Amino acid sequence: MPLLFQYSYMQKAFIVGILLSFAIACLGVIVVHKRMSLIGSALSHSSLSGVAIGLLFGFNPILGAVGACLFASFAIEAIRKKLPAFQDLAVAITLSIGIGLAGVLSGFVKNASDFNSFLFGSIVAITPFELYLVIALVLIVLGVFLLMYKELFYISLSEEAAALSGVPVRVINFIFTVLTALTVSIAARTVGALVISSLLVVPVAAAMQIARSFKTTILWSIFFAQVSSIIGLTLSFYVGLKPGGTIALLSSLCFFAAVIMKNIRARFSKRAFRQLSDTSEVLT
């Protein structure tokens, strides 16, 4: 049986998977708490239209994906401001436009394999440039997240309350939107545009079953994302599975495992409470 890390492409795949897990989990916590869980799908499908444009006009598809994601993210923010009472419509409208453009433009791409590599990702075939791009992105995301942790926490709970507290909501939303768009567009190349949306939400959903605070939700989200990435890449190497899809399925298994753990903990708590109540009755 071949050793996992004797191949340079697997070494790069693990580095990218582990690093992206940090960035995606941190951003995902804010996305979920802002009740914008579908933003990952909207941006990832928009990135596919950018990929198609890049392939059609002969420039780097990743640059096209970044441009399309940035445009889509700004469109979401603009629609949210126009329809404050129906903010979820902003994501739904952008999602439908992204799907439509990607579907139409993909029909003009001559080499379908290049376009398909962005659908489910190609984490084991990333170039050194893409590796350095991921490293730079993750450092920026984590740096901004740590520096603006308090502000991001406020806007994730209530933008109105954050504004009343003196938080520059528009600036923070702009920075967060740009970081999310960059992360989704670059991660689409490595784990796949159809997979990134689940990685942005499912580890956070799993963490929320166990965590009891905002900070522990972040830590558990990172943990579940790391476990999914590491085990997913290992299985893809030894079993011959698609890495992106395997990682997404494992993150879903983490969610169900967290739900089971939550139910077990709740039952033990109820049993302990009953025993304590019975003991107190006997003593009285």
The one-letter code for the residue type at 150 is K
Q: Are 204 and 25 a contacting pair, CB within 8 Å? A: yes
The three-state (H, E, C) secondary structure of the chain, written as one string: CCCHHHCHHHHHHHHHHHHHHHHHHHHHHHHHHCCCCCHHHHHHHHHHHHHHHHHHHCCCHHHHHHHHHHHHHHHHHHHHHHCHHHCHHHHHHHHHHHHHHHHHHHCCCCCHHHHHHHHHCCHHHCCHHHHHHHHHHHHHHHHHHHHCHHHHHHHHHCHHHHHHCCCCHHHHHHHHHHHHHHHHHHHHHHCCHHHHHHHHHHHHHHHHCCCCCHHHHHHHHHHHHHHHHHHHHHHHHHHCCCHHHHHHHHHHHHHHHHHHHHHHHHHHHHHHHHHHHHHHHHHC
**Architecture category of domain 7-201 in CATH:** Orthogonal Bundle (1.10)
What are the two backbone dihedrals, phi and then psi, of residue 38, each rounded to the nearest 5 degrees? -85, 0
- Under 8 Å CB-to-CB from 141, ≥6 apart: which residues? 22, 23, 26, 27, 179, 183
pTM value is 0.83
Nearest to 135 by CA among 193, 186, 203, 199: 186
pLDDT at 182: 85
- According to the model, what pLDDT value does residue 239 have? 86
Q: How far apart are CA 54 and CA 48, in angstroms?
A: 10
What pLDDT does 1 receive?
A: 47
Q: 107-119 b/e with 16+ CB inside 10 Å = b?
A: eebeeeeebebbb
Cα dihedral value 166, 170, 171, 172, nearest 10: 80
Q: Spell out, as residue ranges, where the chain has pLDDT lower than 50.
A: 1, 283
